[in-house]
Amino acid sequence: MADLEANEDAERLGRLMRSRFSCRAFLPDPIPEATIARLTDTARWAASWSNVQPWEILVTRPQTTLKLAEALTRLASARAPTTTDVPYPPGFTGVHLQRRREVGFGLYGALSIQREDRAAREAHFVENFRFFGAPHVALVTMPADMGAYGALDVGNFLACFMLAAHAEGVATLAQAALAQYAGTIRELFEIPRERVFLCGVAFGRADMSHPANAYRAPRAGIDEFLRFV
């Protein structure tokens, strides 16, 4: 009986993992705060090194989301100098560059954006700062002195948060793009210097009639990264 239950859980989890996707067109309807609290209450059970739980999230209400979108869109459209807290990777090479290109072109394909249409690609990028119309964004920080292991813990929390949201019918998009303007986000929400801004997670109900949400990113097979030794 215990085995049967475990299999049901594994199947359900597998279905949730495979059906989650990054949403890039949201409906404006707010998510009830009780739902947001419930899915966060599930995500808080994420494991972390020595159980330090270094994550903190600020969740914007729709009015605040709009104000933040205005401020960030102004910066992004003007190509204002970036103020990241954590440096971006200097670049991608090899298979990682290949996968990055594949997902980029796949998404542009779904949106009927031609490769050479720089203006349309730029406009799509700027949409990040409107959170693709999401009513909420979770602004994710961790203590500045925790380095890569802190970020590892936060990443694990985010995976749990996004899966818990998906289980509630709430679509999400993790957004490292927002970290370009970490300085502005820190100022607007009085985030102290002792914490670094890592990324945002836009969330709300998915607009399934939008072509952006028809795209599904592929995955490498396990033979590409799993070795038994």
Ligand X SMILES: Cc1cc2nc3c(=O)[nH]c(=O)nc-3n(C[C@H](O)[C@H](O)[C@H](O)COP(=O)(O)O)c2cc1C
Nearest to 173 by CA among 16, 66, 22, 20: 22
Residue 16 makes contact with ligand X by CB under 6 A? no
Q: Which residue in the block uniquely carries the two structure tokens 């980029």?
A: 104
Contact 104, 165 (CB under 8 A): no
Residue number with CB closer to ligand X (135 or 180): 180
| Residues 184, 197: Cα–Cα separation, whole Å | 10
Of residues 99-128, those binding ligand X (CB under 6 A): 103, 128
The residue range among 47-55, 70-78, 89-97, 174-182 that interacts with ligand X, by the rule CB under 6 A, is: 174-182
Sign of the C-alpha dihedral, residues 56, 166, 122, 210?
negative
| Residues 188, 196: Cα–Cα separation, whole Å | 14
190 three-state secondary structure: coil
Of the candidate residues 10, 95, 217, 220, the single one contacting ligand X (CB under 6 A): 217
Residue 31 makes contact with ligand X by CB under 6 A? no
How many residues at the interface with ligand X, by CB under 6 A? 12
Residue 199 makes contact with ligand X by CB under 6 A? yes
Residue 185 makes contact with ligand X by CB under 6 A? no
| Contacts to ligand X by CB under 6 A | 21-22, 24, 103, 128, 173-177, 199, 217
